[in-house]
């Protein structure tokens, strides 16, 4: 009888493990996105948009995405605004290639989100606040950026690769 009980317990354990493994595989990839800056008194650069030629190491506003890659499928961006005094946002667009700049409207000092292919966003976050966005993403390169006036050109962008 003990042998039958042991086999039953082993079978149930195997089913439970298989169920947990399936759930883990179906879980979305999570990318932690941190928005930060050197404060409202810092002089903002105006040439740090993608392919604009500015020295991004000198940016006073930045976005970090960790990890910078994800599996194709559901991807959750968990966003934190680490600024002490500035509002930031995070927008996601799929890049056609990394050599073509996003459509920038100089008069507004912003990217044209619709023309860039806006996929979703975590809207304006007050300092210290958090938000999240889950998107179903195909393989490719995506940019995450802040599109408040001047922030993109001040260096608030990074890329994420989905495979």
pLDDT digits (tens, 9 = 90+) for 121-149: 999 999 999 999 999 999 999 999 999 99
Least confidently predicted of 41-45, 77-81, 83-87, 95-99: 41-45
Position of tokens 């994420």? 160
Average pLDDT of the chain?
86
Which pair of tokens denotes residue 26?
Answer: 């179906």
CATH code 3.20.20.80 for 28-162: no
pLDDT attached to residue 46:
73
Higher pLDDT pick, 53 / 85: 85
Q: What is the pLDDT of residue 9?
A: 47
For 127-146, letters b (16+ CB in 10 Å) and e give: eeeebebebebeeeebbbbb
99-109 confidence digits (pLDDT tens): 898 999 999 99
pTM over the 0.85 mark = no
Q: Is the pLDDT of residue 115 over 90?
A: yes
Spatial neighbors of 145 by CB under 8 A, at least 6 apart, are 63, 90, 91, 93, 102, 111, 151, 152, 156, 157, 158
Check whether 118 has a pLDDT greater than 70: yes
CB 48 within 8 A of CB 153: yes
């Amino acid at each position: 009888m003990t042998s039958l009980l042991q086999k039953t317990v082993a079978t149930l354990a195997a089913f439970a493990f298989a169920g947990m493994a399936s759930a883990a595989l179906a879980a979305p990839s999570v990318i932690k996105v941190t928005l930060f800056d050197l404060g409202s008194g810092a002089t903002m650069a105006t040439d740090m948009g993608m392919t604009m030629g500015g020295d991004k190491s000198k940016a006073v506003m930045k976005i970090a995405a960790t990890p910078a890659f994800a599996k194709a499928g559901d991807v959750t961006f968990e966003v934190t605004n680490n600024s002490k005094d500035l509002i930031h946002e995070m927008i996601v667009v799929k890049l056609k290639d990394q050599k073509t700049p996003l459509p920038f409207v100089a008069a507004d000092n912003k990217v044209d989100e619709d023309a860039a292919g806006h996929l979703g966003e975590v809207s304006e976050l007050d300092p210290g606040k958090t938000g999240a966005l889950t998107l179903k993403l195909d393989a490719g390169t995506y940019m995450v950026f802040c599109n408040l006036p001047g922030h993109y050109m001040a260096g608030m962008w990074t890329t994420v690769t989905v495979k």
